[in-house]
Amino acid sequence: MYSVEKFVKDIKLAGKKLDNFSKDINSKEEDIKRIIEKFSNSINLVKKSDDENQFTLMLNQTLSKIKNDCSYWVRIADEQIAGMEFINKFDKSIVFVVFGNVNVGKSSVGNFISGTLDELKDIYVEQPKFYSYDFAEKNINAKEEGLKSNSFKVNDIEETTSIQYFTLFDSLTWVDTPGIHSINSENEALAKEYVNFADMVLFVTSSSSPVKQDELVEISRLIEDKKPLLIVINKSDISKAESIDGKVICNLIPKSNEDRRKQEQMVRDLFKDNDKLSFAQSVDSTSISVKLAEKGLKEKSEDIFNDSGLPIFYEKLGETLKQNAIEIKQKAPKDRVNSLINRLINGFMEAGNSTKIYGIVDIKSNLLVLVDEIDSKIEAINSLEQKILKSVKEKAMLEIDIVVHKIGMKVQNSGEDVDVHREIIDTLTKHFNEQMRQKIAAVLEDYKYKEIQEVGINIEANLSVIKETTTYTSYHIEEYDRAPNGLVEWVGKNIFKKNYKGYETVSEEITKTDIVGVNSSDVIKKVDSYLEEELRPFLKSNLEKIVSEYFEIERETIKNIIAKIDKLERELDEIKF
Ligand SMILES: Nc1nc2c(ncn2[C@@H]2O[C@H](COP(=O)(O)OP(=O)(O)O)[C@@H](O)[C@H]2O)c(=O)[nH]1
Ligand SMILES: [Mg+2]
């Protein structure tokens, strides 16, 4: 059986190892703080846009939120640094934080391990001094004083923010914490801090109902990171009424080995099946009874002492410390730094409040949402090209058609040309402005559209009559005097002066020009192709201009902030162990 002497020897050995070991990770927290402050300052320098549109407002809000979160980031770094002061005192000993519900025997276990019981004084040789430290006050007014009783107070149900501790052989600092019945948000932060600074956690539970649901919840809430954890099922004893010499006395006996193994297994299984405590899958649980151990010592009964389970607990503690002292001592500060960085990256709940403080990841995803929103607006604006052009076409063409036909009638009647480009330009400009204003407002409610005076339309549109020239051959019969034909006609002509007529068909080429209409459809066609070839590119560049005017600064700013956040994340990541 492992003995108390062996425990004392092992603990001293662990102390020697730790004495030669020096950790130099203290400045890491300071580095983290410096990096956050640098980031925060650089966010303060981000130029805000003077424009007041929905996105600048959102961006400005995001910037304020980042600044606000930065102050929380600095705060948790500060808290950790403040806690370091306490913890730095123990950089040569393993800090063992005892934790669990009230009345499970935490203080009793601590008192026993301290070796201050009279029966143990010879073995321990030197007795540790007990101190109290107010964790809530931190370094500011932290009062640290020796406890008068030089032991932890048993049956103490007082709720305090102070913890009590002793250091054994310069190698084991045993921290007794006030009982945490049901952790409220106020003491949760504090309890988390104790655990955060612990090199190892000893969770004490009572054998009457080991690791109840609420205790399991507490453990999973408090121990967020992989932390060496040991579970002790205290009070593994039964009070049995016995009648000795006719007198009924209460005799304390150990719970059966079978019952103990069952409970130990049950506790191990509880951890195995708990997702939140996956790190503690192979957590060790040991049944003990401090009361029986004390009885064994008093009655000088080795059997009772062995039955108390204390020797096994001593062995687990002593062996672990002797073998893994340095590893354990290095782990906690490393985890602490990593956990601080993880909280900064992933966000955390504000102490005493249910508000989540954003981490780097949250800020980044918020900014990316903003970028997405801007991008979708840009897409919507670009898609206006088609829509605006279509509407302008429909509305303007209808009017232009009417005008052209009306003026066309006049032209046809007078035969004189009329230049209609002014009418066309005015109509197009009017509808272009109207459609731009309406359609952009539908996408960007607060965009102030600046009217385009003239769309830069350069269109020649002369309404003129259309003439048609036709050439044809005209035939007619012409009469002419012909020579007398035969004797009778000869007599008639010469004697009686009679004239004889001949007839012939004469053809003639005739060219004729007619007004057949007005070139209205040419003009309309011209306008139509103008819309496609000239107005469409103009519209496109106009929309691009709006995009750049409205979004450029925001987009740049966001890109700028994301770059800063990425840098912050990289720098923090480099500090990580
Ligand atoms: N039966 C029994 N009682 C115990 C044992 N250890 C402590 N107690 C009693 O449990 C009560 C609470 O002990 P305490 O150490 O103050 O518990 P804490 O509130 O967790 O610190 C006291 O009355 C102790 O005497 C044990 O092993 N067996
Ligand atoms: Mg106590």
- pLDDT by position in tens, the chain (length 577): 889 999 999 999 998 888 877 655 567 889 999 999 999 999 888 877 677 777 888 888 888 889 999 999 998 898 888 777 777 778 888 999 998 888 999 999 999 999 999 999 999 998 999 998 887 776 545 567 788 889 999 988 777 778 899 999 988 999 998 866 655 656 666 777 778 788 999 999 999 988 888 888 888 777 766 788 899 999 999 998 888 788 888 889 999 999 999 999 999 888 887 777 766 666 788 999 999 999 999 999 999 999 999 999 999 999 999 998 888 888 888 888 898 999 999 998 876 677 888 999 999 999 999 899 999 999 999 999 999 999 999 999 999 999 999 999 999 899 899 998 899 989 999 999 999 999 999 998 888 877 776 666 678 888 888 888 999 999 999 999 988 888 899 999 999 999 999 999 999 999 988 888 888 888 899 899 989 998 899 999 989 998 888 888 888 889 999 999 999 999 999 999 8
User: How is residue 493 written in tokens?
Assistant: 């002509």
Q: Give the distance (Å) from ligand 1 centre to CA of residue 361.
A: 46
Cα torsion 24, 25, 26, 31 to 10°: value is 130
Taking CA atoms, 97 is separated from 115, 197, 253, 261, 458, in Å, by: 17, 8, 29, 25, 86
User: Residue 477: beta bridge partners?
Assistant: 505
Atom of ligand 1 nearest to the CA of 157: 19
For residue 542, how many other CB atoms are within 10 A of its CB? 19
pLDDT of 224: 66
Taking the C-alpha atoms of residue 571 and residue 29, their distance in angstroms, rounded to an integer, is: 13
Taking the C-alpha atoms of residue 465 and residue 519, their distance in angstroms, rounded to an integer, is: 6
* Nearest partner of 129 among 152, 106, 108, judged by Cα: 152
Taking the C-alpha atoms of residue 68 and residue 48, their distance in angstroms, rounded to an integer, is: 16
Residue nearest to atom 17 of ligand 1 (CA): 105
Q: Give the distance (Å) from ligand 1 centre to CA of residue 108.
A: 6
User: How is residue 228 written in tokens?
Assistant: 């060496």
Taking the C-alpha atoms of residue 363 and residue 361, their distance in angstroms, rounded to an integer, is: 6
- Which protein residues are within 6 Å of ligand 1, measured from CB? 102-108, 154-156, 179, 234-235, 237, 289-291
Q: Give the distance (Å) from ligand 2 centre to CA of residue 99.
A: 10
> In the chain, what are the domain boundaries?
4-22+91-234+256-287+325-358, 465-517
Q: Give the distance (Å) from ligand 1 centre to CA of residue 405.
A: 107
Given a contact cutoff of 8 angstroms between Cβ atoms, the answer to whether 79 and 36 are in contact is no
pLDDT of 456: 65
Atom of ligand 1 nearest to the CA of 234: 27
Q: Give the distance (Å) from ligand 1 centre to CA of residue 187.
A: 23
SS3 at position 451: coil
Given a contact cutoff of 8 angstroms between Cβ atoms, the answer to whether 113 and 106 are in contact is no
Q: Which ligand is nearest to the CA of 290?
A: 1
Beta strands in 281-341 (DSSP E): 284-287
Residue nearest to atom 12 of ligand 1 (CA): 103
Taking the C-alpha atoms of residue 85 and residue 323, their distance in angstroms, rounded to an integer, is: 27
Atom of ligand 1 nearest to the CA of 110: 15
Q: Which ligand is nearest to the CA of 108?
A: 1
pLDDT of 95: 92
Taking the C-alpha atoms of residue 528 and residue 394, their distance in angstroms, rounded to an integer, is: 11
Ligand 1 site-directed mutation target among 117, 154, 160, 298, most atoms within 8 Å of CB: 154
The gap from C-alpha 107 to its chain's centroid, in whole angstroms, comes to 43
Percent helix, strand and coil across the chain, each to the nearest 5: 55, 20, 25
Given CA atoms 366, 370, 375, 380 in this order, what sign does their dihedral have? positive
Taking the C-alpha atoms of residue 463 and residue 519, their distance in angstroms, rounded to an integer, is: 6
Residue nearest to atom 24 of ligand 1 (CA): 105
User: How is residue 81 written in tokens?
Assistant: 């640094």
Q: Give the distance (Å) from ligand 1 centre to CA of residue 308.
A: 14
H/E segment holding residue 319: helix 310-346
Q: Which ligand is nearest to the CA of 112?
A: 1
Taking the C-alpha atoms of residue 424 and residue 459, their distance in angstroms, rounded to an integer, is: 8
User: How is residue 318 written in tokens?
Assistant: 């002593």
The gap from C-alpha 560 to its chain's centroid, in whole angstroms, comes to 17
Q: Strands 94-99, 462-463: parallel, antiparallel or unpaired by DSSP?
A: unpaired
Radius of gyration in angstroms for the set of CA atoms belonging to the chain, rounded to a whole number = 50
Atom of ligand 1 nearest to the CA of 176: 21
Q: Which ligand is nearest to the CA of 102?
A: 1
Ligand 1 site-directed mutation target among 101, 104, 108, most atoms within 8 Å of CB: 108
Taking CA atoms, 295 is separated from 149, 212, 306, 565, in Å, by: 21, 28, 11, 62
Taking the C-alpha atoms of residue 205 and residue 100, their distance in angstroms, rounded to an integer, is: 6
Q: Give the distance (Å) from ligand 2 centre to CA of residue 245.
A: 37
pLDDT of 279: 65
Residue nearest to atom 1 of ligand 1 (CA): 235
Taking the C-alpha atoms of residue 311 and residue 53, their distance in angstroms, rounded to an integer, is: 73
CATH number of 4-22+91-234+256-287+325-358: 3.40.50.300
pLDDT of 325: 87
Residue nearest to atom 26 of ligand 1 (CA): 235
pLDDT of 570: 96
Q: Give the distance (Å) from ligand 1 centre to CA of residue 244.
A: 26
Q: Give the distance (Å) from ligand 1 centre to CA of residue 99.
A: 14
Atom of ligand 1 nearest to the CA of 308: 27
Alpha helices in 453-535 (DSSP H): 486-494, 520-530
Q: Which ligand is nearest to the CA of 252?
A: 1
Atom of ligand 1 nearest to the CA of 100: 20
